[in-house]
A and B are shown apart, each in its own frame.
Chain A
Amino acid sequence: MGENHIISVKDLTKKFGSFTAVDKISFNVLPGEIFGFLGANGAGKTTAMRMLCGLSIPTSGKATVAGFDVYRQTESIKKNIGYMSQKFSLYEDLTVKENIEFYGGVYGLSRERRKEKTEFLIDLLKIEEARNKLIKSLPLGWKQKLAFSIAIIHEPKIVFLDEPTGGVDPITRRQFWDMIYEAADRNVTVFVTTHYMDEAEYCSKVSMMVDGRIAALDKPEKLKEQFGVGTMHEVFVKLARPAA
């Protein structure tokens, strides 16, 4: 395992009874990379991501995240990562401000720091008028952008995003990816799963999961070259088709 890899995975496996959800996957991620984790529904993306976040203990294999072991140091991992789950992760019955302050507090930010962050985020997302509105009254795009901002409120080394742009309109998706780029520029490593192949083009490296295994892993342009096609969409169809 390389010294400078922020995520290092070797033969990681997760079985649920006789079903192998993740089958001996291996890959490395460099700091500041945007690592696209692609695959069809049920390919094992979420399971793999949950193991890396310390939410699920692997069946076998090795993995370190930010230098911590996924078996024994799950709580240390949690201090160093941000996570935005597929399910909506903000409290619908709390306001924008209350959500920011709550998660800030949970990550141990001081009262002053929480105040600062709240102002900063409200300003950044241009949601001044929504400051004291309940989350449930906001449009989905706003919620997702806010959820992402909150996932990195404690300035983690890595942020895991599980289908963050599902159901969001194209313009908001574009803005969302701008935010991801800004985070990557600040050397935050981004680990993102997605169904949208145009988003795969934005990643610095892409892995394609099929039936629990990694079927392809490289830079988007390399993958297109390798399969002799023009878009990531075609790469995906070529890889995923045999499984379907």
Chain B
Amino acid sequence: MRTILVILKKEFLQIFRNRAMIPLIVFMPLFQLLILSNAATYEIKNIKFNVVDLDQSYFSRELVSKFTASNYFILNEASFSVEQSLESFKTYDARLIVYIPKNFERDFRTSGKSEVQFLINAEDASAAGIINNYAVNITRQYNSEIVTKSSVIPEKTSLININHSNWYNPELDYRTYMVPGILVALVTLIGSFLSGMNIVKEKEIGTIEQLNVTPIKKYQFIIGKLLPFWIIGIVELIIGLNLGLYIFGVPLLGSPFLILLLASVYMFVVLGIGLLISTVTHTQQQAMFIAWFFMVLFMLMGGIFTPVESMPDWAQTIAYFNPIAQFNRAMRMIMLKGSQLKDVIPVLNFFIVFAVIIMSLAVWRYRKTE
């Protein structure tokens, strides 16, 4: 016990003597929350679009004005040639072309049926999907307007009226959705990077050799090395949660203590990963690269920025074993839905098993004697 305290004291002295550390601990959560939660949204605004209106009718002009009147679209150029209009795709001056064929209005009035075509720049598939959605919605709305206004009976009159309501995030506020995920990313980074780099640093400067000839026991060394980052991670999470609640107005329907309980076990998982990386590397640079490789994979497949549900089946299976994905889901469950212990028990169990395995591996790999 005394030995552990001695190591802890030394670690804290070194951590807080490092000038980069305090700003990192205080500003990292603040900046991540500020920038990412505002930047990473699925909403697209001010989409530039071109119009190719061959009809030049009252209806066609009104449809275009519906686009420009919405918050989403800005008219870039109007022309009479699709070929010419497509030039704007190459320069990104427009992402959507609304093509209105000749006789658009006449066809509607005579047969109750007419067509309009959207050409969408689909380099970014998900953006294209969103643009399509907006455009279809605007057109559909205009459609029902003219159906009611005009005396014409359209081909189909019996439309099913759909009403939907969004649960747990009624305004579809992306910050509400992003903040829990970003908090997960934050504690994960602290746990894996800082702890791994810290141990490798002792290898780099050679002091590990000195420690290895002392009677320090493996477990004492490992606890002494990891506990500071466990504490820092939990403190970071508390700071981040408070920022999320009081500055970003993200709801916390469940218990903050349940979050801390999950986080305290989760930290052992990420600390174990950091420790394992430190046992197989010799320099901080190597440790950085390896940690980076795994973190990028885990993060991108963690459902923080893109939903796990949109991944193919095999990727969803991997995501099931991804601690970041699990913690991210549990955080959203607790914060936005008010889920309780019984709802997140599987996640907790998963963390415990994962932590035990990864820690045992790391302890086994750490050698005082070669």
Contacts and interface: CB of A to CB of B under 8 A. Distances in A.
Task: Note whether A and B form a binding pair.
Answer: yes
Interface of A: 53-57, 74-75, 78-79, 81, 83, 85-94, 98, 101-103, 105-108
B161 interface: no
Interface residues of B, number: 25
Interface of B: 2-3, 5-7, 9-10, 13-14, 17-18, 205-207, 209-216, 368-370
Contacts of A102: 6-7, 9-10
B10 A94 contact: yes
The prevalent SS among residues of A at the interface is: loop
A75 B367 CA distance: 12
Given A89-B207, A91-B207, A108-B3, A55 B13 contact: no
Contacts of A78: 213-215
Which interface residue of A56, A85, A106 has the most chain B CB atoms within 10 A? Answer: A106
A203 to B, nearest CB: 22
A85 B210 contact: yes
Given A54-B369, A57-B370, A87-B205, A107 B215 contact: yes
B6 A89 contact: no
Q: Which are the 8 A-B pairs with shortest beta-carbon distances?
A: A87-B206, A105-B6, A89-B210, A83-B213, A79-B215, A102-B10, A85-B209, A106-B214
A108 B17 CA distance: 25
A107 B3 CA distance: 8
A55 B369 contact: yes
Contacts of A103: 214
Contacts of B207: 89-91
Contact of A93 (B3, B7, B17): B17
Contact of A107 (B10, B214, B368): B214
Contacts of B214: 78, 103, 106-107
A94 B13 contact: yes
A54 B215 CA distance: 11
B213 A81 contact: yes
Given A53-B213, A103-B214, A107-B214, A92 B370 contact: no
Given A87-B209, A107-B214, A56 B370 contact: yes
Given A79-B215, A106-B3, A89 B370 contact: no
A92 B201 CA distance: 12
Contact of A54 (B5, B9, B10, B213): B213
B10 A88 contact: no
B215 A108 contact: yes
Nearest to A106: B214
Nearest to A88: B206
A86 to B, nearest CB: 8
Nearest to A91: B207
A175 to B, nearest CB: 22
26 contacts: A53-B213, A54-B369, A55-B209, A55-B213, A55-B370, A74-B369, A75-B215, A78-B214, A79-B215, A85-B206, A85-B210, A86-B206, A87-B209, A88-B206, A91-B14, A93-B14, A93-B17, A93-B18, A101-B6, A102-B7, A103-B214, A105-B6, A106-B215, A106-B216, A107-B215, A108-B215
Contacts of B13: 94, 98
Contacts of A108: 2-3, 215
B368 to A, nearest CB: 8
Contacts of B211: 106
Nearest to A79: B215
Contact of B369 (A56, A83, A91, A105): A56
Contacts of A86: 206
Contacts of B6: 101-102, 105-106
Contacts of A92: 205
Contacts of A83: 209-210, 213
Given A56-B369, A75-B215, A108-B3, 9 more contacts: A55-B209, A81-B213, A83-B209, A85-B209, A87-B205, A87-B209, A88-B205, A92-B205, A106-B215
A109 to B, nearest CB: 9
A95 to B, nearest CB: 9
A173 B6 CA distance: 32
A55 B3 CA distance: 20
Contact of A98 (B10, B210, B215): B10
A89 B369 contact: no
A103 B211 CA distance: 9
Nearest to A134: B17
A207 to B, nearest CB: 21
Nearest to B209: A85
A82 to B, nearest CB: 8
